[in-house]
Amino acid sequence: MKEKAKEFATHAHKGQKRKNSDADYITHPIRVAQRLESEGFSDELVCAGYLHDVVEDTIYEIEDIEKHFGKKVAQLVAAHTEDKSKSWKERKQHTIDVIKNGVKEVKYLIVADKLDNLLGLEKDLNTLGSVVWNNFNAGIADQKWYNESIVRYMRTGLSSEEIPNYFNEYEQAVSRVFG
């Protein structure tokens, strides 16, 4: 099932590129899925890692995910999919609310995604400088609010044994990027 999810996501994101880069977009979902797999999470969560941006950024709908990968994977992807008809602030507040109140598998998916995005941003900032902010829908102050809010709430409702190591890595990256 994981290989099928990787192939589906690769097809769905064909031709898309990462911000500030010529890298194929699929490199991001692959890294997210690999991080989830390295933590020993379920096949469904790893599949959701591959598929987490498909509904948001391609022609496919959540029903396509459910048809090919089942209800659980579709629920994980749906919980992390933003409603692009809403403003940037509304979308990010929704994600913060999901992080604060969501089930642990959704938290794991969101933080893995945000960590990979932030590590890419950090690399771009070091290489290209502050011009990278021009490619975002919100400026540095809003990005700082968003990322610090995720850090604030990502551990809510989790026991210490349920917190993966990459949560600490994300918190450290937020501190490095936003001070």
Q: Return the active site residues.
A: 56-57
Nearest to 29 by CA among 47, 43, 44: 47
Residues 6+ apart with CB under 8 A from 102: 79, 110
Question: What angle, 0 to 180 degrees and rounded to 10, lies between the N-to-C axes of helices 165-178 and 140-153?
Answer: 150
Please name every residue paired with 45 in a beta bridge, in sequence order, or none if there are none: none
d(CA 19, CA 25): 9
Question: What angle, 0 to 180 degrees and rounded to 10, lies between the N-to-C axes of helices 27-38 and 104-128?
Answer: 130
Based on its alpha-carbon atoms, the radius of gyration of the chain, rounded to whole angstroms, reads 15
